[in-house]
Structure 1
Amino acid sequence: MSVHHGTLLCLGVLMMTAGAVMALGGWVQPPGLLFGLGLLLGLGGIGLLVSGLCMAMKNLQIAVPGHFLLHPRTGTRFSPQQALAIQRLDRIRREMSADTVDRSPEPEPTMPSTPPPWTMEPPPSYDAV
């Protein structure tokens, strides 16, 4: 859990506690501004607590089972976005290699065993030029 998540969680718990104390203090006396303010502060604390928990759960490292590239031997794991990107790249690589295997190589043009006969007149002599 990062510092931001921990800060949100602590602030949410603190606001909930302060709101509960203010609401109970306003409940003992005739309901008034103190009760409403405490209720509002408590609801804000609940909102911060829930958002901090959601952010913490969202950033958990989730391993995608069944693929050797996603579990390297070092023990580190890839994020879900990285895991999906690796799977896509692996699928593309396999499709590309399957395309090259399926294609038959183009036959090379065969050269005739003897050159064609010379049909042009010989060039002029060196002395004539």
Structure 2
Amino acid sequence: MSLHQKVSVSVGVLLVAVGICLIVTFMGAVGLAVCGLGLAILIVSFCKVMKSNSHMTIPGHFLLHPRTGTRYTYEQAIALQRRLDRIRRASAEERRSIQRCPTTLTSLHSLPGTPPPWDMEPPPPYETVMKTTTSLNQL
């Protein structure tokens, strides 16, 4: 806001306050006139302030606004937001495809449902094992 706009808003607020005080002190007609003038000045000054702000602020990520302090126009901010959304969706898809790959690899290397055929000789019977261990303990 420029200095001229700040002064006109301040004068408008001051006139509205004076008008209300005059209405309270039983000078109704004069108070209404002063209050009406203050409201008119406020409305005109607010309209000028709204017109002077040509750049709209878009709520969102801080990267939507350049570092110089100036702001993107509405169209630029929307285009940038759409581009960021596209990049975000692509990276999410990439993460999903990377997460699917290890699961398929583990399923290839998992154990089969039936055990492999026994290639070695069968284990010795229990009695034979017990006899050999007792003989070892006695030594």
TM-score by shorter chain over 0.5: no
Bigger share in helix: 2
Larger radius of gyration: 2
Where relative contact order (Cα < 8 A, 6+ residues apart) is larger, the structure is 1
